[in-house]
Structure 1
Amino acid sequence: MSFTSITHTCQYNEEDGSIRMYLRGRPVVLHGPSDQDTLDPAKVAPPPQNKLKLEWVYGYRGKDCRNNLYLLPTGEVVYFVAAVVVLFNVDEQCQRHYTGHTDDVKCITVHPNKLVIASGQCAGHDRVDARPHIRVWNSVSLATLAVIGAGHIEQAVACLTFSRADGGSLLACVDDGPDHIITVWEWQRPDKGHCLAETKCSVDTVVAAEFHPLDRNQIVTCGKGHIAFWTLDASNVLYKRMGIFESRDKPKYVTCLGFNHTGDVISGDSNGNLIVWGRGTNTVAKFVRGVHSGSVFSVCARKDGAVVTGGGKDGRVVLFDSDLNPTATETVIEGHYGGVRVIAEGRGSQLYIGTTKNCILQGDVELGFSPAVLGHVDEVWALAAHPSLPQFVSAGWDSLLQLWDGLSHSTVWSKDIEERAQCSAWSSDGSVIAVGCLSGKWLVFSPESRQLLAQHVDGTEPIQTIEYSPDNKLVAIGSRDNFIYIYQVDDECTRYSRLGKCLGHSSFITHVDWSQDSQYLRSNSGDYELLYWNATTCRQVPSASAMRDVQWASNNCPITFTTVGVWPESADGTDINSCARSHDSRLVATGDDFGKVKLFAYPVTQPKSLCHQYGGHSSHVTRVRFLADDTRLLSAGGNDTALMQWLLD
C-alpha cells in the first residue's frame, strides 16, 4: 500500500518494516524498530491533545522601524516584533499579544481614545491574508475591529496615523511602494473601510506621517530630502505644500516629527538640527542647530509642554522647555543598547526609549535608564534549553550570547562573544554552554562566570550543530564542510581532545542525535541523508537496519522513522529547519521556512499526520526546543530576531 502525492511519496515495506520516503525525488529509506506494528500509510494520525499558547515574546523591532512604542492607559507599553504586537506591563511583568497579522508588522499607531490600535504589515507567506494590510483592533479585548487596504497597499504599510482633532474617525496610511501612496480611510465604515482620498506622496522614502493634533484636515509627512504639509479639502482631495528650507540647511533626511503645545510642527533631521514650522505654514519659524551629532530620530512633546529629543548616533536624550530652549538636562544611553530610535512618554517624568539595537529602556532624563526589553539585532540561529532548569541560551549573527530565565522572562546575562553564532548546546549536566560559530570556531563558556573555558577551530565553514553525549564524555560538532568532528571531554567540560572526524556525508551536516548509551550518532545532511556512526571510532555504521532498535536521547534529526509525518506533502527537504522531541517522548515540535511552529503527537510514523500549527514568527523558524520539564516550548525566528515562548496546555 502506498500514499502518493506530488513530490512526497511514501511506501511501506511490510517485510523489513521500512518506509521509503521521497524528498525532491530522492529516496530515503527509514527502518522502524523491530517491534513496530504494521503501518498503513494511507491512515491519518490525529493531532496531539496538547496545544500551544503564546506566553512570552522576547525582543523588539527598533533596528529599522520608527514610531512604534506607546504607553497605554492600562499601564502597558505597546510595540511589535516579528508578526506579533506585544502589550507589556513592565511593572507587573506580564504580556498580552495581538496575533492577527500573518507577517512582519512594520508600524503601529494609537487612536486618540487610547483604546484602539492600528497596525500595518508587509506581504506575507500565506496564500490567505498574504497581501499587505492594516488591522484596527481593541487593545483591551484584542478583538479585530477592521481589516483595511488589502489589494490597495503595495509591498508594506510604512506609516499610519489616526486623525486627532475629530476624535479619530480617519486613518491615514503611507505605503512602501515606489510612489509611497498616501491614502485616507474612514476606517469605521462597515464596507471594510472607505478610502476617502488617495494620491502619490513622494518618489523618495517616507519615514513618518502624522495628523495635526488640532486640525482634522492637516497631515504632515517627512522623509528623504523633504517635509510635506497636506490639506484634505471639502471634496476629499489631498493638496501638498513642500516645506521650504534655506538651501544650506536642507537635510538629506527629515527623520522625525512632533507637535508643540501651540500646534507648531517640530521636525528633526539627519544633520542633528530641530526646525519649528509655524502652524498652518510651510516655512521655518525657528531653527535649533546641532542638537545631536548625527540624526535626530525622535521628538517627544510631553504633556507639560517640554520637548525631549533622542539621537540615533550619539545616544543622547536632551530635554528642552516648551519654546525649545535647552534646559541643560540630558543623559546618554549606554552604547551597547544602541542609539535612540523612539521616545515615548510614560507616567509623570518617566520615558520609554526604543533603541536601534532592539532594546526598550525605561527611566527619566535626570535619573537615567535601565532595560525593560532586551533582544537580538541580527539573525538568531542558536537556541538551547538547560537540561534541568527553566533557563535557555540564544545566540545569533549579532555575536550576542544571552542567558534567559523562562519563568521570570528576563535576561540573566548578555555577552558579546565577538563571533557570529550559528548553534549552541548545554553539556548534559548544565555546567557549560558550547557555541558553534560561522567562522568554524566553537567556544565553551561557563554559565556562572561567563568566562571562555575553551575554544577550537574545525575547518573554515560554519558549525551547524553541536551536541554533548548523554554521559558528557563526548561532543559532536557538525560542520557545513560535510564532516562531524568528535571530541573527548575532560576536566568537567573544560578540556577537549579530538578523537577524529566522521567522513561519509556528501552535503553539509544539518542535525545530529546521540544514542542514550552515548555509543552512536545519527545525522542528517543537506541532501536528505540519514547516516549512523560509531562515536568512539568515528566510523560509519553501514547497515542502517542494524540500528533500528537503538534508543535515541533526542530527535533533533527530522529525517527519521519516528518523524516521517512531520514532512508536508509538498516538502522539498529544506523546509523544516528544526525538530525537537519532548523529554517525555509524547510530542514533537518543528520550525519551518514559512514562519510556522507545528506540534505533533510522537512518534510521527504515519506519513499523513495532523498537527497544530502556530504563526507569530515572520521569518524562517531556525530552532525549536522544549524546556527541561516540557511545560514550555521555545522558538527562534531567524531574520525576525524574536524568541517566542509557548505554554503547553
Structure 2
Amino acid sequence: GGGDRTTSVITVCGSESGFLFVWRDRHLWSDVRAHDGAVRAVCTSSDRRDGFLSGGDDGVIKMWSLKDRKLDNTFHVDCNSLLRSPLAQGCSLRCLATVGGGGTWQKVAFGTDRRVLYEFELDQKDSKRIKIVNNSLREINSAPSPSGCSALAPHPHSSFFATAGSDGVCRFWDLTSHAPLCELQLKEDCKELDWHPGDFQHLAVGLGRGGVRILKYEGITQSSFLLSVLLSLDQRTCGVQKLRYSPDGTYLAVATDDKTIDVYLVAQDYSRWGVCKGHSDQIINFDWSEDGSVVRSNDKSYNLIFWRVEEMRRGIIEPCRTTAEFADMSWASSSCPLTWSTQHVGKFYEAVSHIRDLDRSKNGSLLAVADAFGYLRVFTFPSIDRGRCLSYQAHAGGCGHVAFSYDDRKVLSAGSRDGCVMQWKVQLIPTEATSQVVSPQGRRQIVDSFNGEQQGGLQESAAGAGGLQVE
C-alpha cells in the first residue's frame, strides 16, 4: 500500500480476471482491466507513493499512476518481445521488484514461470516518454526445475555442468556466468547424470522408470549447444538409483531399484557385460577403483560389497568372498558412506539413508556430503576417527546431490525439493586458524557464507578443511 499512512491506507490487488483494484482503507477506490489473463504480481515503492507496477499471465509489465481516483497506464513492456531467448517465449510474470531513488524507479526486476529472473533499467528523463535503457536487460538467476533437481553432473574437463529433474528436461549451465546454455527435452523422469571421462563426450542419463539415455555432446558454437540423443538402454523397467562411468571410460555401471548393478561396455555400443547380484537391500551408492577393475557398493542394510568386473560368469558378477585384498586399493571416487575412509561421516547421522550423496575433491583433500536435512558438510579426507567438518544449511527439504567442479574451485549442491542449485567457492582455512575449536567470531572471519552471515554453524574446524562461500 502507498499513500499517507497517517490519514489513510492505499491497497492495490489483482484478480484472476485481469483487473486491478485500488482500495482506500476498506472502500474500493478505483478499478481497471489491466491484463489479458490473471494479475500475478503487484509492486509498489516507497519512493513512488502515487504509482505502482503490475505483471500478469500475458507477460506484460505495466506502470500505473494513481491520481484523483484514476489509474493511468504510463508505461508498459511486453516481456515476450523483450526476451530474445526461445526458451523464454510465452512466459508469464510471477514476481516484480524495483530499485528506486529520488522519486523514480531506476531498475525493475521480474521473475517468470520459466524460473528465470531478469532486470532492466528505466530512462525517465522525459516523464512523458519512459523507456528501457538500451542493452540494460540482463538475466540475474535461473532455477533448474520446479519439482526439485534430482540429478547433477559437472563436466570433467570444462566449466559447465548439467542438471535434470522429474520435469523431463536436461539443462546445461555455465559455472562462470551462472547462466543456462541450453536445455534438451527428454520428456522422462530423470534421476541420475554422469559424463564419460574420455573423448567420447557422452552424458548418461538414468531414468526414474528404468532405462538409460546416452546423450552425445559435440561442443558449443556461437549460436548453439550441440547435443543429441545417441542411444537408449531399456533392459530394466525399475528406476535408476546411481550410475557412473569407470575411470578409463571402458564401462558404465548402473545401480537400479531391484538391488542390482548393470555393467555396460561403452566401446561395444553399450552392450551389457554383466549384472552384479548379491545385495539384500536398496543400493545407496557405489565407487570404481582407479584401475577400473573393481566396484564397491553400499546398501541400506549397511553392507559393503566388492565386485571384480572381469570375473563374470554367464552374465552374472558374484560378490567377492574375501575383502582383505581391497584394504590398500585406490578408489577413483568416495561416494560410499560406509567405507574405511568415510567412517566418521556416519557418526553425524542416525541412519545411513540420511546421507544422500558424497563427493571427494579431485586432489583428495576434502569430502563434501549432502544430507536429507538440507545440510552441506565439508570434511577433511580421509574422515576416519576424529575428522572434523564445516556445516552449512544449504537447501530447504533435503540436499540431494553434491559435486566438486573439474578444478576443485567450486562445489555444486542440488536441492531435492526446492529446485535450486547452489554454487559455492572453496576457500581453504589456514592451518594455524584451525588447530583448535574456533570461536563464533573466528568462524565469521574464516568462512564468509550466505552474504556474510554464517548459516547452520561451523560444527568443528580442522586443519586443512575447506570453507565455502555461496556464489
Judge same fold: TM > 0.5, yes or no: yes
Task: Please list every run of 5 or more consecutive structure 2 residues that lacks an aligned counterpart in the other structure.
Answer: 123-130, 220-225, 429-471
State the percentage of identical aligned residues.
26
Structure 1 residues 304, 400: closer, same or farther in 2, change over 3 A? farther
**1:370 shift after superposition:** 5.3
Q: Which residue of 2 aligns with 1:248?
A: none
| CA distance in structure 2 between the partners assigned to 1:502 and 1:346 by the alignment | 58
**1:290 shift after superposition:** 6.3
| CA distance in structure 2 between the partners assigned to 1:457 and 1:527 by the alignment | 28
Q: Which residue of 2 aligns with 1:478?
A: 255
Q: How does 1:354-503 map to 2 (within 5 A)?
A: 354-363=111-120, 371-376=139-144, 377-429=146-198, 431-447=201-217, 448=219, 449-490=226-267, 495-503=269-277
Deviations 1:41-98 (A, max 9, x none): xxxxxxxxxxxxxxxxxxxxxxxxxxxxxxxxxxxxxxxxxxxxxxxxxxxxxxxxxx
Q: Which residue of 2 aligns with 1:15?
A: none
User: Which amino acid letter does the alignment assign opposite residue 336 of structure 2?
Assistant: C
From 293, 297, 309, the equivalent of 2:54 is 309
User: Which amino acid letter does the alignment assign opposite residue 521 of structure 1?
Assistant: V
Deviations 1:249-273 (A, max 9, x none): xxxxxxxxxxxxxxx4332122221
Q: How does 1:188-337 map to 2 (within 5 A)?
A: 210=1, 212-216=2-6, 264-277=10-23, 279=24, 281-289=25-33, 291-300=35-44, 303=48, 307-311=52-56, 313-320=57-64, 322=66, 323-326=70-73, 329-333=76-80, 337=88
User: Which amino acid letter does the alignment assign opposite residue 630 of structure 1?
Assistant: D
Q: Which residue of 2 aligns with 1:617?
A: 395
**1:329 shift after superposition:** 4.3
User: Which amino acid letter does the alignment assign opposite residue 371 of structure 1?
Assistant: E
Say which is worse superposed, 470-479 or 505-514, in terms of deviation: 505-514
Structure 1 residues 424, 309: closer, same or farther in 2, change over 3 A? same
Q: 1:316, 1:340 within 8 Å by CA — same for their partners in 2?
A: yes
The SS at the match of 2:342 is: helix
Q: How does 1:586-601 map to 2 (within 5 A)?
A: 586-601=365-380
**1:625 shift after superposition:** 1.1
Q: Which residue of 2 aligns with 1:627?
A: 405
| CA distance in structure 1 between the partners assigned to 2:349 and 2:51 by the alignment | 58
Task: Please list every run of 5 or more consecutive structure 1 residues that lacks an aligned counterpart in the other structure.
Answer: 1-209, 220-263
Say which is worse superposed, 569-578 or 587-596, in terms of deviation: 569-578
| CA distance in structure 2 between the partners assigned to 1:531 and 1:548 by the alignment | 13
Instruction: Please give the TM-score of this superposition, normalised by the length of structure 2.
Output: 0.74
**1:371 shift after superposition:** 3.0
User: Which amino acid letter does the alignment assign opposite residue 324 of structure 1?
Assistant: L
From 286, 306, 317, the equivalent of 1:512 is 286
**1:526 shift after superposition:** 2.6
**1:563 shift after superposition:** 0.6
User: Which amino acid letter does the alignment assign opposite residue 275 of structure 2?
Assistant: K
Q: Which residue of 2 aligns with 1:259?
A: none
Q: 2:357, 2:371 within 8 Å by CA — same for their partners in 1?
A: yes
Q: 2:378, 2:390 within 8 Å by CA — same for their partners in 1?
A: yes
**1:464 shift after superposition:** 1.4
Q: How does 1:506-545 map to 2 (within 5 A)?
A: 506-536=280-310, 537=312, 538-545=317-324
Q: Which residue of 1 aligns with 2:95?
A: 342
The SS at the match of 2:343 is: helix
The SS at the match of 1:450 is: strand
Q: 1:315, 1:339 within 8 Å by CA — same for their partners in 2?
A: yes
**1:216 shift after superposition:** 4.8
**1:424 shift after superposition:** 0.8
User: Which amino acid letter does the alignment assign opposite residue 627 of structure 1?
Assistant: S
**1:320 shift after superposition:** 4.6
Structure 1 residues 577, 328: closer, same or farther in 2, change over 3 A? closer
The SS at the match of 1:443 is: strand
**1:578 shift after superposition:** 0.9
**1:514 shift after superposition:** 0.8
Deviations 1:443-476 (A, max 9, x none): 2223431211222224233211110111111100
| CA distance in structure 1 between the partners assigned to 2:297 and 2:394 by the alignment | 29
Q: 1:350, 1:363 within 8 Å by CA — same for their partners in 2?
A: yes
**1:619 shift after superposition:** 2.6
Larger helix percent: 2
How many pairs does the alignment contain?
A: 388
Deviations 1:211-258 (A, max 9, x none): x44215866xxxxxxxxxxxxxxxxxxxxxxxxxxxxxxxxxxxxxxx
Q: 2:287, 2:336 within 8 Å by CA — same for their partners in 1?
A: yes
**1:509 shift after superposition:** 2.0
The SS at the match of 1:505 is: coil
The SS at the match of 1:546 is: helix
User: Which amino acid letter does the alignment assign opposite residue 567 of structure 1?
Assistant: G
From 397, 421, 432, the equivalent of 1:643 is 421
Structure 1 residues 457, 266: closer, same or farther in 2, change over 3 A? same
Q: How does 1:145-224 map to 2 (within 5 A)?
A: 210=1, 212-216=2-6
The SS at the match of 1:435 is: strand
| CA distance in structure 2 between the partners assigned to 1:455 and 1:381 by the alignment | 20
**1:392 shift after superposition:** 2.0
**1:380 shift after superposition:** 1.2
**1:569 shift after superposition:** 5.4
**1:620 shift after superposition:** 1.4
| CA distance in structure 2 between the partners assigned to 1:458 and 1:566 by the alignment | 35
Q: 2:43, 2:98 within 8 Å by CA — same for their partners in 1?
A: no
User: Which amino acid letter does the alignment assign opposite residue 520 of structure 1?
Assistant: V
**1:557 shift after superposition:** 0.9
Structure 1 residues 411, 570: closer, same or farther in 2, change over 3 A? closer
**1:572 shift after superposition:** 1.3
**1:307 shift after superposition:** 4.5
| CA distance in structure 1 between the partners assigned to 2:189 and 2:331 by the alignment | 30
Structure 1 residues 505, 544: closer, same or farther in 2, change over 3 A? same
User: Which amino acid letter does the alignment assign opposite residue 389 of structure 1?
Assistant: S
**1:632 shift after superposition:** 2.2
| CA distance in structure 2 between the partners assigned to 1:336 and 1:390 by the alignment | 22
**1:603 shift after superposition:** 1.4
**1:405 shift after superposition:** 2.5
User: Which amino acid letter does the alignment assign opposite residue 374 of structure 1?
Assistant: S
| CA distance in structure 2 between the partners assigned to 1:275 and 1:501 by the alignment | 65
Q: 1:395, 1:421 within 8 Å by CA — same for their partners in 2?
A: yes
The SS at the match of 2:120 is: strand
From 538, 550, 569, the equivalent of 2:329 is 550
Structure 1 residues 341, 483: closer, same or farther in 2, change over 3 A? same
Deviations 1:127-148 (A, max 9, x none): xxxxxxxxxxxxxxxxxxxxxx
**Higher RCO by CA contacts (8 Å cutoff, separation 6 or greater):** 1
The SS at the match of 2:344 is: helix
**1:484 shift after superposition:** 0.9
Deviations 1:170-215 (A, max 9, x none): xxxxxxxxxxxxxxxxxxxxxxxxxxxxxxxxxxxxxxxx5x4421
